[in-house]
Amino acid sequence: MSLLADILAVKASEVDRLRARKRAPSSRAPIDVVGALRREPAGPLRLVAEVKLRSPSAGPLSRALAPGERALAYAEAGAAMVSVLCDAQFFDGAWEHVTAARARLDRAERRVPVLAKEFVVDERQIEEALDRGADAVLLIARIVSPARLVQLARAALQMGIEPLVEIVDEPELASASEAGARILGVNARDLDTLQMDAARAARVLAAVPPGVVSVHLSGLRTSADVASVAHTTGRRPDAALIGEALMRDDDPRERLGAMVTAAASRP
């Protein structure tokens, strides 16, 4: 079985546990994620910084900062959004990390949106993301049917939380467009093989319809990588996610600050 199949094999029981637990709805109004990530014509590439305690490929990552404190460090360094892993078994994530990130940002009066990054197969997970204070929730086109993707995306929008739909190729782009996604994340890494394909990612990003916010996912490690994506010719992405590179640093402010500068640099 692939890593993705292994992950999905445990999600049904996790959803059952969520359904058995009483909801604790949040009264806060989610932040406008589309506005936070949309890139102005001459503006900088927006950066999404990720809280991820472990990677299946790289192993354990830095835990010097608690999830909430790391989220604040990212905001202080210029992140446009904070992504928080929710999967426990494979990434050492937790729904509580979303709560902690949102609470710490709010205490610091940082109006930075939070993305709940989970392998969503059921509406109950979307509800949990919203209840935990997330402003956006990840929907992965690869793990559900096109019809189910439409259902999940519409459910998220009806709840008031923004679906960020992750795709890897043109058929998945078509499915995401049918689902009415306003934010598309194009993963340079194939979730089945974990292999990187930067050329495919660039091709799919270029095909994202005008008006839809596009986000480059995976594979960016240096400021030079960020600058390369920022200066893509043709249909430039609005944002890019930085994950493992920042999670190797006990204090990510310096590295992320340099990346933010690179994202705003001129070619």
Tokens of 244: 């493992």
pLDDT (0 to 100) of residue 23: 94
Q: How far apart are CA 140 and CA 136, in angstroms?
A: 13
Please name the helix (run of DSSP H) or strand (run of DSSP E) that holds residue 244, with its range, or none: helix 244-247
Beta bridge partners of 162: 136
pLDDT (0 to 100) of residue 234: 67
Q: Give me the sign of the Cα torsion angle 184, 187, 191, 192.
A: positive
Q: Are 149 and 175 in contact (CB under 8 A)?
A: yes
pLDDT (0 to 100) of residue 236: 83
Q: Are 15 and 124 in contact (CB under 8 A)?
A: yes
pLDDT (0 to 100) of residue 261: 98
Tokens of 228: 């390369």
pTM exceeds 0.75, yes or no: yes
Task: Cite the DSSP H helix spans in the chain.
Answer: 3-20, 33-37, 67-76, 95-107, 123-131, 146-159, 170-178, 198-207, 223-230, 244-247, 253-263
**What Å distances lie between residue 185 and 9, 29, 172, 208, 211, CA to CA?**
24, 23, 11, 10, 14
Does the domain made of 3-19+33-263 have the CATH classification 3.20.20.70? yes
pLDDT (0 to 100) of residue 14: 95
Low-confidence ranges of the chain (pLDDT < 50): 1
Domain boundaries, the chain: 3-19+33-263
pLDDT (0 to 100) of residue 202: 87
211-256 tens-digit pLDDT: 999 999 988 999 999 999 999 866 789 999 999 999 999 999 999 9
Name the residue with tokens 């199949």.
Answer: 5
